[in-house]
Amino acid sequence: MRLLLLVCFTISKRRNKFITKQINLTHFSFALLTTNGQVICNVRARKNNPVKLILTEDDDGNEFKFSGQLIKSEIHTLFYHCCKKLSEIYELNMSSIEDINIHLRNETNYEKGSNSIKIDDANYVISIRMPSEENPLEVMFHELCHVFQMLKGFLGQCLDKKCYLWKGKQFEAELDHGKRPWEQEAMLHTYNHVKCSKFPPSSHA
């Protein structure tokens, strides 16, 4: 049985002291630290998982949410299962890569859809458009596909942001969304492993 460490804490600009409370559950160990400031929640598998999830605020200062459909512990559980499955799909040995942070936030620009971008080798941002009628698991899995594509070196963006690089080939940024091969791959994996299968599994075994 895998154990996850969920750490929820807030950062204060004045560096106030944190209040710590430890809560032990069957599958998880929670450490809750509170003070005045921005709320961030992190999760890291205790064994061979260098990926850390950070729930961060949107441009309006609102905490991340899936339209109230999921509580924080459920978001972290889905994130864990998605990463585990995608590491198998992309044949990526998680213990062989450096620690990375995946920042999950809501997209407040309603003209944009959900998207994933690479900030640097250690930080990736997934923005989920809200409100949305889509299955939150499918959205998270699809966007995490793009993160794993970037981790594998398959997907990149030109410095001027006018084109994308996919497996050594260049594609114009204006290319229709449905014709982008990295989008087609993400949609296919989401269809095969989420829509048409029992995912995530009912236990952590």
Domain regions of the chain by residue span: 4-195
Q: Average pLDDT for consecutive 10-residue bins of the chain (205 residues)?
A: 34 32 28 32 49 91 81 87 93 85 91 91 92 80 97 93 94 94 97 82 48
Q: Residue 48's pLDDT is what?
A: 55
CB proximity list for 46: less than 8 A, separation 6 or greater:
2, 3, 4, 5
CB 183 within 8 A of CB 177: yes
Rounded to an integer, what distance in angstroms lies between the CA atom of residue 192 and that of residue 123? 28
Q: Residue 129's pLDDT is what?
A: 87
CB proximity list for 153: less than 8 A, separation 6 or greater:
none
Name the one residue in this structure whose structure tokens are 């109230």: 68
The answer to whether the pTM exceeds 0.75 is: no
Q: Residue 13's pLDDT is what?
A: 31
Q: Residue 5's pLDDT is what?
A: 34
